[in-house]
Amino acid sequence: MKKILVALATLVAIVAVINSATISAEQSNKGILGMTSDEVRWFTPAYYTDGRQRAKLFGDSSADGAWVDRAKIPAGARVLAHTHPQDEVVTVIEGTWYLGEGPKFDSAKLKAYPRGSFIVIPAGVPHFVEAKEGTVIVQLSGNHKFKTDYVEK
């Protein structure tokens, strides 16, 4: 029994040393991550078929882990009712984002969120959006893979 405890203690010590070295290496390799608005690289994902674009600022929204993206919605574009399996955390960067709650797009339910607004849409809540007056840019962030389930086809 004593040999097992000694072996276990040795294993725990080795794992702790490796973990500490890994953390120290990660911290020493860290630097400031920054970009100007001119450096943001926009692309059109295959799942955007209406003129919207996306930009990955930090992490990867197509996988689990922390991420920050931006979405650019052209003037006049609508996104029909949909849900997300995770909370959707949104900051309006440019323009006025119109957001409504419900299982079907209804312009009477849209509320205007101008530049600088912050919104949290809880997981599973059906909602819809529109860019009425011009291009809108929103910043999205999360800790899990970003997924959209359309309620309205």
Q: Is residue 7 domain-shared with residue 57, that is, in the same domain?
A: no
Going from the first residue of the chain to its last (153 residues), give the mean pLDDT of each consecutive group of 10, the final group possibly shorter: 44 36 47 93 92 96 95 97 97 98 98 98 98 97 94 91
Q: Is residue 25 domain-shared with residue 75, that is, in the same domain?
A: no
What string of H, E and C letters represents the secondary structure of 59-71?
Answer: CCCCCCCCEEEEE
**Residue closest to 62 by CA, chosen among 147, 149, 150, 120:** 147
**Number of structural domains in the chain:** 2
Q: Is residue 82 domain-shared with residue 44, that is, in the same domain?
A: yes
Q: Is residue 12 domain-shared with residue 47, that is, in the same domain?
A: no
CATH number at residue 45: 2.60.120.10
| pLDDT at residue 37, rounded to an integer | 92
Q: Is residue 51 domain-shared with residue 84, that is, in the same domain?
A: yes
**Residue closest to 143 by CA, chosen among 70, 59, 46:** 59
Q: Is residue 24 domain-shared with residue 97, that is, in the same domain?
A: no
Q: 106 lies in which domain range?
A: 37-150
| pLDDT at residue 19, rounded to an integer | 38
Q: What is the pTM of this model?
A: 0.78
| pLDDT at residue 29, rounded to an integer | 66
Number of other CB atoms surrounding residue 91 within 10 Å: 18
Q: Is residue 134 domain-shared with residue 70, that is, in the same domain?
A: yes
| pLDDT at residue 25, rounded to an integer | 39
